[in-house]
């Protein structure tokens, strides 16, 4: 039987998971000496490379000595927690990375909690020990306290600890040891991570934990084999979560080595492979021996907590920039996304709109960004939390929020979060002069908070949050105070007019940008919306006075990214997303209609 170790690399965002996997790939000799390899090679799609984050869990395999080590690199953002939960069921051990300066963060708690519940023993790697503010001993104490708080058993509390600087390519057992290479980490994996249970001689049992697709072979299930063997060309029974059973043949069996996928004839218990040939394969499905189909427990993935309405663009500029603009095209694309992304849901609402639900703004924002790059054009409404009703009580999701701010800004952060129904649970001064404050806050209170928080802390604040649970509804949460500057005409913006409007607030547009009646062109300096005319040119006369031809100096407008726009908009506004532009507009473009709707709302409130 092959000597196999299956591990997942888990950590909070930006603690160095992908860089560590890079080094393990390099130092195991997986790449040929002449092979050109990118930095953070596991982050394969464009958005991952641009933002420096991992969005999808990905697996690779390396050979070290006579062992094959299957490694799964996981996302660190709370929005992609669903990916991490599934992956942990497929491995026998975890490398738990922690930043030697930042220490235990919300997502560290979330992923470690899942690993402890599954009985996995973490190999703790305190990474980035080369940082100036690194305090490995404090971080080790934090990790131990966290494991105690998570009810870890005695075996789990005896976790091995390594100290590493993944970027510089070394790990060591003791801080005093010499900086050499990753050998101590390879040794820790071989020593401390258990071998897979199960036997190649038993009846076949395998479970799908990630999906992929190929234009030639269709859907591919990336699968962990728990028992028995899987052979190319043989017939197996696919048992779905609903209990439905479908027989089919394995048309292609794919093994992993480094970044390559290699076609193989057979794989056995303990290995992770990709299987093609089952048209209806889904995450959590079991692949079993047809003569004795014993399914594995279906997977539970936490429900989405945030939803957004996506609809067809019906604005004056609709269809001028995008390639795919119809509701049928949008629906097809969303259905394709739901096939592989089981942490998201999509529900058609009729009237050419769809309700898309996910684990957070970032997850929904990345789907929208991918669609925009593929040539889609659509409207997005303001994100809303998914509210449930249990025993007649209205329940909403709550988040654990951690903010790191310089001392002089702690007052403003606490005050702003207090207005958003946050309750402070702890305040800890940090060695670098910042303060770490922890809150429990309704997820609604976080919508639109990030940009305000960065402004209040002059860009120095750091915030991270993760889902705790559903709790009773906490009442009205205060949202954006400033109103919007709304264009009252269609055409191209004129520099002279924008120059005069600068005193009214912050602009979002440049001269010569296309605008239309009802489009939001900036943020007003005061509460309440203001209708303005960005098309008004300078009145020319045949008399010229000195100084009248001075160049117009415009303040650079605020560039609105998709995520920033999702945070900024209110209930009566929409984001127009096209391959070339992100615009904000009012839901009702006609000013008379807007006033009527506002009046009706006020009357209903009374």
Residue ranges of the annotated binding site for GTP are 14-19, 127-130
What are phi and psi for residue 229, nearest 5 degrees? -130, 155
> What Cα–Cα distance (Å) separates residue 112 from each residue in 227, 271, 331?
27, 24, 36
Beta-bridged to residue 239, according to DSSP, are 245, 286
Residue-by-residue DSSP string for 518-557: TEEEEEEEEES-EEE-TT-PPPP-S---TTTTPPP-PPPP
CA distance 262 to 598: 61
Helices (H), 28-167: 46-51, 81-88, 106-117, 136-149, 154-157
Angle of helix 106-117 relative to helix 81-88, nearest 10 degrees? 30
CA distance 341 to 212: 10
Length of the chain: 606
Tell me how far the alpha carbon of residue 550 is from its chain's centroid: 48
CA distance 407 to 427: 11
Structure-token pair, residue 325: 């603009």
Tell me how far the alpha carbon of residue 142 is from its chain's centroid: 25
Are the C-beta atoms of residues 364 and 358 closer than 8 Å to each other? yes
Secondary structure of 15-61 in HEC code, one letter for each residue: CCHHHHHHHHHHHCCCCCCCCCCCCCCCCCCHHHHHHCCCCCCEEEE
What are phi and psi for residue 558, nearest 5 degrees? -75, 120
> What Cα–Cα distance (Å) separates residue 347 from each residue in 328, 397, 454?
14, 20, 34
Tell me if residue 127 falls in helix, strand or coil: strand
Residues 6+ apart with CB under 8 A from 541: none
CA distance 17 to 36: 21
Structure-token pair, residue 299: 């997977």
Report the binding-site residues. Answer: 14-19, 127-130
Please measure the distance between the N-terminal and C-terminal CA atoms of the chain and give it in whole angstroms: 74
Structure-token pair, residue 594: 């807007």
Are the C-beta atoms of residues 87 and 209 closer than 8 Å to each other? yes
Beta-bridged to residue 246, according to DSSP, are 238
Are the C-beta atoms of residues 453 and 403 closer than 8 Å to each other? yes
């Amino acid at each position: 039987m092959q000597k196999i170790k299956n591990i997942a690399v888990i950590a909070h965002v930006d603690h160095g998971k992908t860089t560590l996997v890079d080094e393990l790939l390099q130092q195991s000799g997986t790449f040929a000496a002449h092979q050109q390899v990118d930095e953070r090679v596991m982050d394969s799609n464009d958005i991952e490379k641009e933002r420096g984050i991992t969005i999808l869990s990905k697996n690779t395999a390396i050979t070290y000595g006579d062992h094959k080590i299957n490694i799964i690199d996981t996302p660190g953002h709370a929005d992609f927690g669903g990916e991490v939960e599934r992956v942990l069921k497929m491995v026998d051990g975890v490398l738990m990375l922690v930043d030697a300066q930042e220490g235990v963060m919300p997502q560290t708690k979330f992923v470690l909690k899942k690993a402890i519940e599954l009985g996995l023993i973490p190999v703790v790697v305190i990474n980035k020990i080369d940082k100036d503010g690194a305090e490995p001993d404090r971080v080790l104490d934090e990790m131990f306290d966290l494991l105690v708080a998570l009810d870890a058993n005695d075996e789990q509390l005896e976790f091995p600890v390594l100290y590493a600087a993944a970027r510089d390519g070394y790990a060591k057992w003791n801080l005093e040891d010499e900086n050499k290479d990753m050998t101590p980490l390879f040794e820790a994996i071989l020593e401390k991570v258990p071998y897979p249970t199960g036997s190649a001689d038993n009846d076949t049992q395998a479970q799908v934990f990630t999906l992929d697709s190929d234009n030639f072979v269709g859907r591919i299930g990336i699968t962990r084999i728990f028992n028995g063997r899987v052979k190319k060309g043989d017939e197996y029974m696919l048992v779905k979560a609903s209990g439905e059973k479908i027989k089919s043949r394995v048309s292609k069996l794919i093994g992993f080595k480094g970044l390559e996928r290699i076609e193989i004839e057979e794989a056995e218990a303990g290995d992770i492979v990709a299987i093609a040939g089952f048209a209806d394969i889904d995450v959590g499905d079991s692949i079993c021996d047809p003569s004795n189909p014993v399914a594995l427990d279906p997977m539970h993935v936490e429900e989405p907590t945030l939803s957004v309405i996506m609809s067809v663009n019906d604005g004056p500029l609709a269809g001028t920039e995008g390639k795919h603009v119809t509701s049928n095209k949008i629906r097809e694309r969303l259905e394709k996304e739901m096939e592989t992304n089981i942490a998201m849901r999509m529900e058609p609402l009729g009237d050419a709109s769809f309700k898309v639900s996910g684990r957070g703004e970032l997850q929904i924002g990345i789907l929208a960004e991918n669609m925009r790059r593929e040539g889609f054009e659509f409207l997005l409404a303001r994100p809303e939390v998914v509210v449930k009703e249990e025993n007649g009580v209205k329940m909403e999701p709550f988040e654990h929020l951690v903010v790191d701010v310089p001392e002089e800004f702690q007052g403003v952060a606490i005050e702003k979060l207090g207005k958003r129904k946050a309750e402070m649970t702890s305040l800890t001064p940090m060695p670098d002069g910042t303060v770490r404050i922890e809150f429990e806050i309704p997820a609604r209170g976080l919508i639109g908070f990030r940009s305000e928080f960065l402004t209040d802390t002059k860009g120095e604040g750091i915030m991270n949050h993760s889902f705790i649970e559903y709790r009773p509804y906490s009442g009205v949460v205060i949202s954006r105070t400033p109103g919007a500057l709304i264009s009252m005409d269609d055409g191209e913006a004129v520099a002279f007019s924008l120059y005069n409007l600068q005193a009214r607030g912050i602009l979002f547009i440049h001269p010569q940008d296309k605008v239309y009646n009802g489009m939001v062109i900036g943020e007003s300096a005061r509460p309440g919306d203001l209708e303005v005319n960005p098309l008004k040119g300078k009145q020319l006369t045949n008399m010229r006075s000195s100084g009248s031809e001075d160049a117009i100096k415009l303040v650079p407008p605020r560039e609105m990214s998709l995520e920033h726009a999702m945070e900024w908009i209110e209930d009566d506004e929409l984001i127009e997303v096209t391959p070339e532009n992100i615009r904000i507009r009012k839901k009702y473009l006609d000013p008379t209609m807007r006033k009527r709707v506002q009046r009706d709302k006020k009357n209903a409130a009374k």
